[in-house]
Chain A
Amino acid sequence: MVTEEGDSVGTVRARDSASRGQWEDELVAVVRAVSGGLLFGVPLLYTMELWWVGEHTDAPQMLLILALLAVVLIVLNLTAGFRSTQDVRLRDAAADSVKALAIGIVVSATVLWMLRVVTVETSAFSAMGKIVNESVPFCLGIGVARFLLSGRPGLSDEKDEGGASASGSGTRPLNASVAELGATVLGAAFVGLSIAPTDEIPMLTSSMDPPWLVVVVVTSLVASYAIVFVAGFARQGDRHEQEGIFQTPGVETIVTYLASLVVAAFLLWLFQRDVWPASNLLDQMIVLGFPATIGGAAGRLAL
């Protein structure tokens, strides 16, 4: 027999669970947006000309950039977007565009701060110019996050879970580990190749002391984990359950980060960058390792 009190407790629990579900869903959507922005925006973050453009962007130009971005984001949200399901109604697309714009600005500001391009000594208006210019690729990345992170624009979380277990169950652990490592190296090399020969790496490194480099390491690890194990719904359920040499989420994130650092070191050597003594090499590996890690995460998603 179900009492009235029991009924009421059950209803409250069900409501709590549904409430937790909606918050979790929204958090995952935001993480996915951040991940899409990072995948698309990071290569342009290491472009000093874009920082300089921000120094002399005036107020009407900044507002025009934001307005144009909002329009483009509405169109992208109607076709791709950062949610697991597509926005059909214009008001949903408009609401998601406001979120995409704000998330893009916050993420680009955070990464510019992490790279010491924007500091407390930068004037507010100058910092805003840099952030608004850098947020363009970030926002576009957020607008196509579903496509970037699933590989197919029409794929949703629900569809993926069914397909994932079918495709993943037959893979041998060693082969899976080698494939993940290979994809990481390829992805890291793909992104790192265009950044390693530039002067931005030594320039950024020169403004960072050891504690700041630790911040870069931690951010790289968090970004890699978020892209592959939180935001990427391509085979995500399968990824959490895979068996292999390093295929628990935490270990995989660390091992693939180390692989990205090795790729960064190789690229710095390949382009004959001035990296000696060893402490200088380590510093530059860490700074180049951030985009390389994000490229590596994208490589693993493509598997």
Chain B
Amino acid sequence: MRSEGTLAESVTLALCAAVLAVVVGVILFLGPDKDDPPAPVASTEAVEQVGDEFHVTVVVRNTGGRTAANVQVNAELVVDGETTAGDQTVDFLAPGNEASLAFVFADDPSSGDLTVGVSGFLNP
């Protein structure tokens, strides 16, 4: 059987209770507003030439209040009337989180019209 509580045990208990208070505080007060629907938004972050190709970094961020699943991100480049398109899927995107993607084009995006966007997602 255990002896009476020592000072060391009391200090550990106080520290652990403080940790739990912080955890519960984060859960209660930093949670997103669940009334807001998911709102993933894609934007071009950078364009880099790698060999003969051009890598376009696209960041998709969920600015809504709920998680979005299977987020479909597409990028379309029109150069001299010729269209090149690509799409990618992000499995899960929690509120406030972001994912970084790369699209690869043969033409220089600065010489044409580049559009990136989110075409759809699943409500998990």
Interface string of B84-95 (1 = CB under 8 A from A): 000000011111
- What band does the interface of chain B fall in when counting residues whose beta carbon is under 8 Å from A? 35 or more
Interface string of B52-88 (1 = CB under 8 A from A): 0000000000000011010000000000000000000
Bound complex: CA A25 to CA B101 (Å): 50
Tell which of B5, B34, B94, B97 has the most Cβ of chain A within 10 Å.
B94
B50 contacts partner chain A, Cβ-Cβ < 8 Å: no
- Interface of B, helix, strand, loop or mixed by DSSP: mixed
- Interface of A, helix, strand, loop or mixed by DSSP: helix
Q: Which residues of A contact B23 (CB under 8 A)?
A: 66, 102, 105, 128, 132
Q: Which residues of A contact B31 (CB under 8 A)?
A: 58-59, 125
If A56-B124, A88-B2, A95-B5 touch, does A125 touch B96 (CB 8 Å cutoff)?
A: yes
Bound complex: CA A62 to CA B1 (Å): 34
For window 70-107 of A, CB contacts with B under 8 Å fall at: 83, 85-89, 92, 95, 98-99, 101-103, 105-106
What is the interface size of chain A, counting residues whose CB is below 8 A from a CB of the partner? 39
Check if A95 sits within 8 Å of B19, measured CB to CB.
no
Q: Which of B12, B24, B95, B97 contacts A26 (CB 8 A)?
A: B12
B64 to chain A, nearest CB (A): 12
Check if A121 sits within 8 Å of B98, measured CB to CB.
yes
Q: Which residue of chain A has its CB nearest to the CB of B8?
A: A26
Q: Which residues of A contact B69 (CB under 8 A)?
A: 56
Q: List 17 A-B contacts (CB under 8 A).
A: A25-B6, A26-B8, A26-B9, A63-B27, A87-B2, A92-B5, A95-B5, A95-B13, A101-B16, A101-B20, A102-B17, A102-B20, A123-B96, A124-B26, A125-B32, A125-B95, A128-B23
